[in-house]
Amino acid sequence: MMSRKGPGASITRGKEFDGKVHGDRGNKAMDVDLVRLLKTQDLGYVRTLRSVALKEVKGLEERWILAGGLEEEDEGWDSEEDEPGKVKKIVFADGVEEREEKLKREMRGDEDEDEEMEDNDEKKFEAERKAKNLEKLKGKLTAAKKKLKALTEAERELEITQAKMAKTATSGGVTKKSGRKIKVRERKR
C-alpha cells in the first residue's frame, strides 16, 4: 500500500503497521475567527452580521474618500516630499540707494510675513489633524474588511456543510475512497 509520503507504511514499519496512512490530506486550515463563528452561530445569524458588516464597510469607504483618502493607496506616497519648497525671490537693483529702499520695504513686509507664518502654522495643524483622522479611518476600514471577509467565508462554509448534510444530491459529487460517488438515500416507500 502506498502512503502519502512514499513507499507503503507496511514496508517501512514492518510488523508495527496498524493500517493507518499518515500524511497531509490537502485540507486547508481555517482562520481562527471563522472557526469561532462556525462553532457558535447558525447561518441566518451569520448572514445578518455579514449584511451589517457590509454596510459598515461601505460607510467607512465613503467617509475615507470624503476625508481626502485615495481609493488606491500608494505605499511610497509621502505628503512631506510633495510639498513645494519656499520660493526664493531674486530682486535686481541698479544702485545702492534702490537696494536699501527695497530692503526697507521688505522689513515692513516682515510684519505681514508674521501673520502669514501664523496662517501656515494653522494650516500645518489642520493637515496633521486630517492625517490623524485618515489613519484612524484606515485602521477601522481594515478591521471592518477583515471582519467582512471572515463572515463571508463562514457563510460559504455553512452553506457547504448544509449541502453535505442535505438528503438531496447537492453535495457536489463527493466520492468515497474507492472512487464511487456517495449515493443520496432515497425515501423508503
The residue count of the chain comes to 189
81 φ, ψ (degrees, to nearest 5): -70, -30
State the pLDDT at residue 187: 57
Report how far residue 84's alpha carbon sits from residue 103's, in angstroms, rounded to the nearest whole number: 25
Find cell 459529487 and name the residue.
173
- Listed in sequence order, the DSSP H helices in the chain are 9-13, 32-40, 43-66, 79-82, 96-165
CA 85 vs. chain centroid, Å, equals: 35
| Whole-structure pTM value | 0.48
Q: pLDDT of 54-76, one tens digit each?
A: 999 999 999 988 887 765 544 44
CA separation for the pair 86, 115 (Å, rounded): 16
pLDDT value for 59: 94
What pLDDT does 141 receive?
A: 94
Q: Low-confidence residues of the chain, pLDDT below 50?
A: 1, 3, 73-79
pLDDT of residue 86: 61
Contact call for residues 161 and 43 (beta carbons, < 8 A): no
Q: What is the pLDDT of residue 71?
A: 56
Q: Quote the pLDDT of residue 74.
A: 44
